[in-house]
Amino acid sequence: MRLTLIVFSATAALALGACGHNVEQRASTGAVAGAVVGGPVGAAAGAAVGTAVSKTVDK
């Protein structure tokens, strides 16, 4: 049960990391999603994912 929740939460954070139109929006969306899932560590990971997605999408 716990593993399912972790996998679902990680998938949701990755999906939300792609929301937005620029780097700042994508990073903040990822940070908020990560904070909900994993607290401060999740916020940092979500912001990193949002930034990485933004750099990939903007190319």
Asked if residue 14 has pLDDT above 70, the reply is: no
Q: What is the pLDDT of residues 28-56, one digit of tens each?
A: 777 877 777 777 887 888 788 878 877 77
End-to-end CA distance of the chain: 38
Q: 40 and 9 in contact (C-beta within 8 Å)? A: no
User: CB count, 10 Å around CB of 54?
Assistant: 21
Cα gap 30→48, rounded to integer Å: 8
Q: 20 and 28 in contact (C-beta within 8 Å)? A: yes
Structural domain count of the chain: 1
Can you give the C-alpha Rg of the chain in angstroms? 11
Query: Model-level pTM?
Result: 0.58
Domain that holds residue 21: 2-57
